[in-house]
Amino acid sequence: MRIAHAPAPDHALRRVHPDGSEEPAGAYPDFAAGWAAGQRAAHADRAAAFALYRGERRVARFGFNRLLPRATAGNLDALAGAL
């Protein structure tokens, strides 16, 4: 009797918090499945960004613009001074 095994996941989705810390969010057998999961996660969780890795290499980013500093009336002078 032959037992079929599911492919080992080689793509990992990680949640990236505004402070730069990361935590696992899922593992997927291929890029397409990881990409689809990253898109869904970025739409579902608007407070975090997500990154898809193959091994140690990041191959996709989702929602990273959420982590960029935002210009507000309170910090506009500080942002302008940095230029």
Residues 6+ apart with CB under 8 A from 1: none
Note whether residue 83 is domain-resident: no
Q: Which residues of 25-63 are buried (b: 16+ CB within 10 A; e: fewer)?
A: bbebeeeebbbebbeebbeeeeebbbbbbeeeeeebebb
Note whether residue 52 is domain-resident: yes
Choose among 30, 32, 12: nearest CA to 22: 12
Q: Is-above-0.75 flag for pTM?
A: no
Q: Show the domain range for 50.
A: 11-69
Of 67 and 28, the one with more pLDDT: 28
Task: Give the per-residue pLDDT at 43.
Answer: 93
Of 58 and 46, the one with more pLDDT: 58
Choose among 58, 47, 48, 43: nearest CA to 12: 58
Radius of gyration of the chain (CA): 17
Note whether residue 80 is domain-resident: no
Count of the separate structural domains present in the chain: 1
